[in-house]
Amino acid sequence: MLDPLFFPYFGGTEKVVFEVGKRLAKRHDITILTSRIPKTSAYEGIEGMNIYRTPSIYFSNLPSFMPPPYTISPLFILDLIKRRNADIFHIHNRFWYYLGTLLTIKLLLRKKLVLTLHNAKPEGISFLTDNSAALYDLVWGKRIMENTNRITAVSRYTRDVTVPKRLHFKTEVIYNGVDVERFAPRDDGSEIRKRFGVENQPLLLTNARLVPQKGLSYLIDALAMLKKEMRDVSLLIIGKGPLKDELAKQCVRNGIQDSIFFVTGIPEEELPLYYNAADLFVLPSVWEPSALVLYEALASGKAIVATDAGGIPEIMTQECGFFVKPRDANELFEKIKFLLENDDLRKRMENKARERAVGNFTWEIIAEKFEAVYNKI
């Protein structure tokens, strides 16, 4: 598996590689080839996987249309050739692997190649983001897709807007997953509520990078409306990003800065506690291929208010929560208020959310689907 970033860095893609890889490692020889980032070793064995890290130049500050971090690995091809005994090479980031990678795998090593699309072609985020990604796929992304033996996409939406129709015959959808043992309904959120001084108050939760695509400004406006009718309601925002200062100023302008908490640096083992502390999970994204946080909210048994953007309607159903239009603070306000005031409906949605996660999105189910793809090729 090829992923430019990996443990201890944990973004959405890295979680997928980690969780799928450690399950496949029970039956197969799994190697992760990644970049060596600060405070990591050249080799490490984790959960039965062999992790090799190639020397890299590490960038933590990048333009807004390129979410950090980013690495440059001058010796990557040499380390790739050392993996010549692998049967299958699986690329997990089409924005990092270029011609040298493709030529090495397909022509020099003559191996099978799988590509997973963790991100769809951006739409409606910003002119620069939308067009830079579209240009990349036009110039190079489609070349990778053409030369793979199999493509997987994290949602039908991702496949339909990113993969040329002539290549759909070798594409299949494999959704992201969730650890339903870690993320589960439990009464252990009181510590988090106490930490923020909201023991007996309605608490909303969202988990997202602080970037335009996540639509957090609309959620902040919705909370301002909500505060006029439910003065004790609060919002926890888990995430970091370039919009932190701008969003904080928006909270001040709306006079709700004491009711919104920005949280970063949460240890992985603590994350389920935040979901359990919340009364409702909200995802106001304007664009979303297949958000891992949505799977975590489902598994935690949370009713959800989310936009119908991208792949979101494929992950949750109307039994699990309400859909709203992107960029509509008024509708966010209305649906959040309705669920907070209707305990019976919210409880039914919570049960359905948990059922959907356990029945469709466990990491064991997802790992088996990837294994089936490998067996096909």
CA distances from 84 to 35, 45, 94, 287 (A): 18, 19, 21, 38
25-34 residue pLDDT tens: 999 999 999 9
Lowest mean pLDDT among 12-16, 48-52, 146-150, 185-189: 185-189
217-251 residue pLDDT tens: 999 999 999 999 999 999 999 998 889 999 999 99
The pLDDT assigned to 136 comes to 84
Q: Which parts of 163-215 fold into alpha helices (H)?
A: 190-196
The mean of the pLDDT values for the chain is 94
171-192 residue pLDDT tens: 999 999 999 999 999 987 899 9
Asked if residue 68 has pLDDT above 70, the reply is no
Structure confidence at residue 36 as a pLDDT band (50, 70, 90): very high
277-320 residue pLDDT tens: 999 999 999 999 999 999 999 999 999 999 999 999 999 999 99
Asked if residue 104 has pLDDT above 60, the reply is yes
HSE toward the beta carbon, residue 304, CA cutoff 13 A: 32
The pLDDT assigned to 177 comes to 97
Q: Which amino acid is at 338?
A: F
Lowest mean pLDDT among 8-22, 290-304, 327-341, 346-360: 8-22
Q: What is the dihedral of CA 76, 62, 156, 299, to 10 degrees?
A: 100
Structure confidence at residue 149 as a pLDDT band (50, 70, 90): very high
Quick one: average pLDDT of 317-341?
98
DSSP bridge partners of 282: 305
Cβ 106 vs Cβ 80: under 8 Å: no
The pLDDT assigned to 182 comes to 96
By CB atoms closer than 10 A (0-12, 13-18, 19+), residue 295 is: buried
DSSP state of 141: I
Asked if residue 374 has pLDDT above 80, the reply is yes
Quick one: average pLDDT of 90-117?
95
Q: Which residues contact 124 (CB under 8 A, 6 or more apart)?
A: 130, 286, 287, 326
Asked if residue 97 has pLDDT above 90, the reply is yes
Structure confidence at residue 134 as a pLDDT band (50, 70, 90): confident
Q: Which domains does the chain have, with CATH numbers?
A: 12-177+362-376 (3.40.50.2000), 190-360 (3.40.50.2000)
Structure confidence at residue 54 as a pLDDT band (50, 70, 90): very high
255-268 residue pLDDT tens: 999 999 999 989 88
The pLDDT assigned to 252 comes to 97
- 280 three-state secondary structure: strand
* Residue scoring higher pLDDT (75 or 69): 75
135-145 residue pLDDT tens: 888 888 999 99
Quick one: average pLDDT of 152-160?
97
The pLDDT assigned to 67 comes to 59
The pLDDT assigned to 298 comes to 98
Quick one: average pLDDT of 147-157?
97
Quick one: average pLDDT of 22-49?
96
* Residue scoring higher pLDDT (67 or 201): 201
Lowest mean pLDDT among 3-12, 154-163, 203-212, 315-324: 3-12
The pLDDT assigned to 187 comes to 83
- Note if the bond before 69 is cis, omega within 30 degrees: yes
101-105 long-range CB contacts below 8 Å, 24 or more apart? 101/2, 101/76, 101/77, 102/143, 102/144, 102/147, 104/77, 104/80, 105/80
The pLDDT assigned to 118 comes to 94
Asked if residue 209 has pLDDT above 80, the reply is yes
Share of the chain above pLDDT 70, in %: 98
